[in-house]
Amino acid sequence: METSLHIQKVSIKAQSLEGNILGDSTSRDIALISHNFGDESPVLIGLAGFFGSGVSFLNRSYSSQDFISTLEKICLADPEISFMIALPDSMTSFYGNQYLNTPAVGNYEDFIVKDVAGYIQNRFGKRKLGVFGKSSGGFGAYNLTIRNPSLFSGFVDVSGDSAFEYCYVRDFPDSIAAFRKDGIELFLENFRKSPTHKPQELRAMGTAAMAAFYSPSMTETGKLDLPFDINTGLIDYKVWNRWLEFDPARTVKSHLDVLRNKKIILQVGNRDEFSINIGMQSMHETLKSAGIDHEYREYDDGHFSIEYLYEYSLPILISYLRTVK
């Protein structure tokens, strides 16, 4: 299918990922999508959701509006719009990414802000940068902005992980069962060998991955501290509270000064299958109470196949980046 967009792929050596404990490759592809790209064009970094990577944005769909079709509609509506979008390969041996530095996975915050952003600035010159993503990618977009305010001028968070007690705890029963059966190490080994996975196994892998990012063992390198006791099944609040330190519905309160000067667009479906709409609405209420300018939109939709939401938000972020000082 022909497209008006210019799409190319480059490969970089990600120095930030050298020596990662999982042995994941430091050679990483970045898909670059551009339209009318010139000296003043901003660059957006797109972050994939869990179980996805940069190339996932390029997948065509015939049952819903995919990301490329969304960009094409944006360009058709405004032929003069000018941008580049960088979509990095962020896949790990935990089958996804939360875009944080962690000894149990690797330095993936550094990968984005140093390797990917560094490549963009070195090749195309200093640019205004924005970041966007859905689900884990939305979490990453928000988190990278508050942690690197001098780099990113704004973000789009679509259904980003938030209010962790609603979006994660529902997976704990299946995770407890899986880890009781095999132990977490054998579970991970078997998962990585298997050509297919049951929904329960996917949920257990998601829990293991979140532990790798939020609660890596503080005593054994490469090990994980789980937010529950495998034997009793009860929440381990000492570990669970470590998870909550990353929850955007909570951390937004301590980053209001940083967010006051950013372009913020929050989008979510009111029927989100992971109840992420609760966390996103909480973020909205906190920002509204603090008088921080932002956009918050709820849609009559769920968590999946909602790339069409970018048709509204990406042009706004691109326009902002072209004018912000």
Same domain flag for 209 and 91: no
Cβ count near 236 (within 10 Å):
16
Give the domain-ending residue among 226, 244, 262.
244
Of 199, 229, 244, which residue constitutes the final position of a domain? 244
Residue 257 lies in a domain: yes
Query: pLDDT for 128-146, tens place per residue?
Result: 999 999 999 999 999 999 9
Listed residues 201, 227, 244: the one ending a domain: 244
Token representation of residue 105: 């996975």
- % of the chain exceeding 70 in pLDDT: 99
| Residue 258 shares a structural domain with residue 158 | yes
In tens, the pLDDT along 259-286 reads: 999 999 999 999 999 999 999 999 999 9
Summarize pLDDT for 4-25 with one digit per residue, the tens: 899 999 999 999 999 999 999 9
Give which of 112, 94, 109 is closest to 30, Cα–Cα: 112
* DSSP-derived pairing of the beta strands 129-134 and 152-158: parallel
**54 vs 32: CA distance, rounded Å:** 10
Q: Sign of the CA dihedral 50, 229, 143, 300? A: positive
301 lies in some domain: yes
**pTM flag (> 0.85):** yes
Q: How far apart are CA 240 and CA 75, in angstroms?
A: 44
Question: How close are the terminal C-alpha atoms of the chain, in Å?
Answer: 38
Residues 6+ apart with CB under 8 A from 184: 208, 224, 226
* 167, 274 Cβ separation under 8 angstroms: yes
**50 and 174 together in one domain:** no
Judgement on whether residues 236 and 269 belong to the same structural domain of the protein? no
The mean predicted confidence, pLDDT, of the chain is 97
